[in-house]
Structure 1
Amino acid sequence: MAKFIADDVDSAIGKRIQQRRKEMNLTAENLAEQIGVSQQQFSRYERGTTKINVSHLVRIAVILNTPISWFFADSCADNLNFSPTQYPVPLAQDELKQRMDYLWQQLNKEQKRYLILFLDNMMK
């Protein structure tokens, strides 16, 4: 059986998985258990040292309530050397709204107030 060598695309996808997992306050061990792989294997996925199984990526997208396309947003040739904070949210309008709706539901009243104040200040 041929061994697939990980490359920059795998690294970019792994960084996206890690970023979203941390946003959701999930441990690597917890997410690994939910998708049915060892913590060591999951760590290799996040580091981009192993190509991720497509069915595992689909499960991760479902668990993290994230469109699967979001994991590939930084995988095009022009964006392979991205910083995880450079594009912290999806760029497509429908994905942005979906993500904002999800995050809004997670905020308490005070956090919502601070977010609105922050946005108001950004618009000045």
Structure 2
Amino acid sequence: MKRFIAAEVDLAIGKRIQQRRKEVGLTAENLAEQIGVSQQQFSRYERGATKINVAHLVNIAVILDTPISWFFADSRAENLTFTNAQDYVPVRNDALKQRLDYHWTNLSNDQKRNLINFLDAMQK
């Protein structure tokens, strides 16, 4: 079994925390306060410079309404397997709307038109 490098896992988890935090619309300061760490410490978590405390990761997952396995989806930990972790879609309507708003801003006009056409076709 190939061993994974902890630093790579820390980087991947940090990127996922940052991605999901932005999708939900929370600032780093706000999330840091909610989990009880300084903004500087939270920044080190997101950069992968410091290993995240498991209790903090669990709290982050709860606050961001995200399965904890989703944070490991981009890691190279080959001995960890997660089913459909990258396909995670939140259940709450407000979280779904926030994700749509986040992605909508990054779409070109053609992509937006195609998405609307797709959604219209689904309703038929």
Q: TM-score range by the shorter chain?
A: 0.5 to 0.7
Distance 1:102-1:25 versus aligned 2 partners, 3 A rule: closer
Q: Which of 100, 114, 118 is equivalent to 2:115?
A: 118
- TM-score, structure 1 as length reference: 0.66
Deviation at 1:91, TM superposition (A): 3.0
Distance 1:97-1:26 versus aligned 2 partners, 3 A rule: closer
2:19 paired residue number: 19
Between the two proteins, what is the percent identity of the paired residues?
A: 67
Distance 2:89 2:98 in 1: 14
Distance 1:100 1:91 in 2: 19
2:83 paired with 1:103: no
Deviation at 1:104, TM superposition (A): 4.2
Distance 1:116 1:100 in 2: 22
Can you list the C-alpha shifts for 1:1-46, whole angstroms capped at 9, x where unaligned?
xxxx960110000000000000111000000000000000000000
Q: Say what the alpha-carbon RMSD is for the aligned residues.
A: 3.6
Distance 1:116 1:102 in 2: 23
Can you list the C-alpha shifts for 1:67-102, whole angstroms capped at 9, x where unaligned?
101000011257xxxxxxxxxx9434xx33747884
Gaps of 5+ in 2: 79-83, 105-111
1:63 paired residue number: 63
1:91 partner letter = Q
2:51 paired with 1:45: no
Distance 2:98 2:26 in 1: 17
Structure 1 consecutive aligned stretches of length 4 or more whose deviation exceeds 6 Å: 105-108
2:72 paired residue number: 72
- TM-score, structure 2 as length reference: 0.66
Distance 1:27 1:101 in 2: 17
